[in-house]
């Protein structure tokens, strides 16, 4: 069963309009254009709003900007607001510094299955290559395999094989839980499943593990996980590491919930309604 209705792509951003513009332009060039874009903005300054307004003028798909005041790292709330603004039954989460390949939407649609989420994959770019890409407006998706191999050999990409090979939708589903590749920068979940667990828990403050918490709760709610590697890769632009003072306590909370088989977010989608 594939989602026939338009998908919803929720892109999280915060004060990085140059990267966001590169990401959204790549979204405009998707082979499958049966989707909408919701920019889930965690309190960016006015230049991001101006960036989105400019992009909207050339958008071949619906584009909506959902903004919240800057009160620290509140990505969970931003994503929840994006979910609530979305019209699609199937929601793909992408970060505003992750550039999708041309068939990103098409491959996520092909992997979608009832009772499953898809944990996507990413290719990390170096700081130097990221700066060149943004300064020169390089279309990463149009680069040749030879160019990518050169970047890999120079250390500007952390891997290249998933960009050259694609696995079919076989053996991707796991009935066991794994902590590997839990990244909301590339994650697809049915809206009904998000509502079943009350979305992201906004009680997670500061950087870290709100995405793992969601996936753990979905797992305990009976949602299986599909591996999106060798199909859904995005180019993850370099960025300076965020403050991680809350990371240890956040991880501890996730581990506690995993042991207790918690499914419901105490502070999530329902609280907005």
- Give the pLDDT confidence of 113-144 residue by residue, as tens digits: 999 999 999 999 999 999 999 999 999 999 99
**175-199 pLDDT tens trace:** 788 777 788 899 999 999 999 999 9
Determine the pLDDT at residue 99: 98
| Radius of gyration (C-alpha) of the chain in whole angstroms | 18
SS3 137: coil
Determine the pLDDT at residue 236: 98
Give the list of residues 6+ apart from residue 170 with CB closer than 8 angstroms, or none.
none
pTM metric for this prediction: 0.94
Residue 9 host element (H or E): strand 7-13
Using CA atoms, how far residue 166 sits from 37, 105, 160, in Å, is 25, 15, 12
Determine the pLDDT at residue 248: 64
Confidence of residue 240 (pLDDT cuts 50, 70, 90): confident
Determine the pLDDT at residue 242: 60
Look at the block and give the residue holding tokens 């009160």: 71
What's the rounded Cα separation, in Å, for the pair 204 and 226? 25
Determine the pLDDT at residue 145: 94
SS3 253: helix
Whether residue 207 has pLDDT greater than 90: no
Whether residue 243 has pLDDT greater than 80: no
Whether residue 247 has pLDDT greater than 60: no
Domains along the chain with CATH numbers? 7-272 (3.90.550.10)
Whether residue 96 has pLDDT greater than 90: yes
Determine the pLDDT at residue 250: 83
Provide the CA 203 distance to its chain's centre, in angstroms.
20
Determine the pLDDT at residue 228: 95
For residue 79, give both structure tokens.
Answer: 């994503």
**What DSSP designation does 243 have?**
P
Confidence of residue 252 (pLDDT cuts 50, 70, 90): confident
Determine the pLDDT at residue 49: 98
Other beta carbons within 10 angstroms of residue 242's beta carbon come to 13
SS3 69: coil
């Amino acid at each position: 069963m594939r989602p026939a209705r338009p998908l919803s792509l929720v892109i999280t951003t915060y004060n990085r309009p140059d990267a966001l513009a590169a990401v959204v332009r790549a979204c405009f060039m998707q082979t499958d254009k049966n989707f909408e874009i919701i920019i889930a903005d965690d309190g960016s300054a006015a230049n991001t709003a101006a960036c989105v307004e400019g992009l909207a003028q050339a958008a071949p798909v619906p584009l909506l900007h959902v903004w919240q005041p800057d009160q620290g790292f509140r990505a969970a709330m931003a994503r929840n607001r994006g979910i609530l603004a979305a019209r699609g039954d199937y929601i793909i989460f992408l970060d505003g510094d992750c550039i999708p390949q041309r068939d990103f939407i098409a491959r996520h649609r092909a992997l979608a299955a009832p009772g499953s989420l898809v944990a996507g994959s990413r290719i990390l770019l170096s700081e130097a290559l990221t700066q060149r890409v943004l300064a020169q407006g390089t279309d990463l998706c149009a680069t040749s395999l030879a160019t990518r191999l050169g970047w890999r050999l120079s250390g500007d990409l952390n891997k290249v094989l998933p960009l050259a090979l694609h696995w079919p939708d076989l053996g991707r589903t796991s009935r066991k839980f794994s902590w590997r590749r839990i990244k909301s920068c590339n994650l697809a979940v049915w809206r009904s499943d998000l509502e079943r667990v009350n979305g992201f828990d906004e009680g997670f403050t500061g950087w870290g593990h709100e995405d793992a918490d969601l996936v753990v709760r979905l797992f305990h709610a009976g949602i299986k996980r599909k591996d999106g590697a060798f199909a859904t890769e995005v180019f993850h632009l370099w960025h300076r590491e965020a403050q991680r003072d809350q990371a240890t306590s956040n991880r501890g909370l996730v581990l506690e919930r995993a042991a207790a088989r918690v499914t419901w977010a105490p502070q999530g989608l329902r609280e907005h309604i």
